[in-house]
Amino acid sequence: MKPMLVFQTDFTYKEGAVMAMYGVVKSVDRTLDIIDGTHELPQYDTWSASYRLYQSMSFWPKDTIFVSVVDPGVGTSRRACVAKTKAGYYVVSPDNGSLTHVKRYMGIEEVREIDETINRLHRDDNEEVSIFAGRDLFGYCAARLASGIISFEEVGPAYPVEEIVEHEILEPTIYEDRIEGIFEINDPNFGNLWTNIPLQTFKEAGFQFGDKIHTVIYHKDEKVFDDEIYYYTSFSMAENYSVMIYNNEINKIGMAQVIGNLCTLHNLDFGPDYKVVFYKG
């Protein structure tokens, strides 16, 4: 069976970009399966592109090809690449930080720069187009790879994995009386915030389900949240509209407002400017 193509972009569905990109894929090979991951990534946010790949990739069949296009540097000298992970997945993406989490947590075995002389769509009516690499380069190259028209080696020349552009990934810190981390991503539909604190690290710091934990959030060193909240295994255990701590779907510690939106109601967001501190009882 041919590999599936899973797309994620910041294009939205508000105009024809996604439709054109998929048309190119089907023009290469009508039998290819195209799956929508998301087209609602935050605009220009290569960190979120990287995190969402990490969040979902391991649940897909091996040899799946992910096409990740968040490309604020489109038309510049940034590399366009295909990365092969140690588990056998492929990511077709600009090399602009979007491979950070895959490289760190899943491992990249090899990365190749796309040879645009053979793996870029060339048409008489778009020879001068340099602003739509999602359609003309990433989608087209991914389709050729998935269909078997080219091998991974024929994508283009390999370059050192060490040269892949990466965002900094911050680690939590354990102290005698507390653990400190950051909010590294959100759950945008519900307003939950996910920390960079793994469940196992939280346990090692001495926290257990059922604990009532003094929790403080800082934004650029200004205290913006300070409360005693419960650490529960399920949202159903908490009172509606209360704030709680929980273990999220990728085994990291999160915070949520039950039947509410933590980000909106408390004016919170994610990123290294948001520090969260959990104190031991």
pLDDT digits over 109-153, tens only? 999 999 999 999 987 775 667 778 899 999 999 999 999 999 999
Q: Which CATH class is domain 5-163?
A: alpha beta
Q: Report pTM.
A: 0.94
Taking a C-beta distance cutoff of 8 angstroms, is the pair 260, 191 a contact? yes
pLDDT digits (tens, 9 = 90+) for 236-256: 999 999 999 999 999 999 999
Average pLDDT over residues 247-269: 96
CATH architecture of 173-279: Beta Barrel (2.40)
Domain extents in the chain: 5-163, 173-279
Q: What is the mean pLDDT of residues 158-174?
A: 98
Task: Provide the token pair at 11.
Answer: 């294009």
User: What is the average per-residue pLDDT within 7-21?
Assistant: 96
* Rounded percentage of the chain residues whose pLDDT exceeds 70: 98
Tell me, what's the pLDDT at 276? 98
Q: What is the pLDDT of residue 127?
A: 65
Q: Across all residues in the chain, what is the average pLDDT?
A: 96
The confidence band for 281, taking pLDDT boundaries of 50, 70 and 90, is confident
**Structure confidence by residue, pLDDT tens digits, 53-69:** 999 999 999 999 999 99
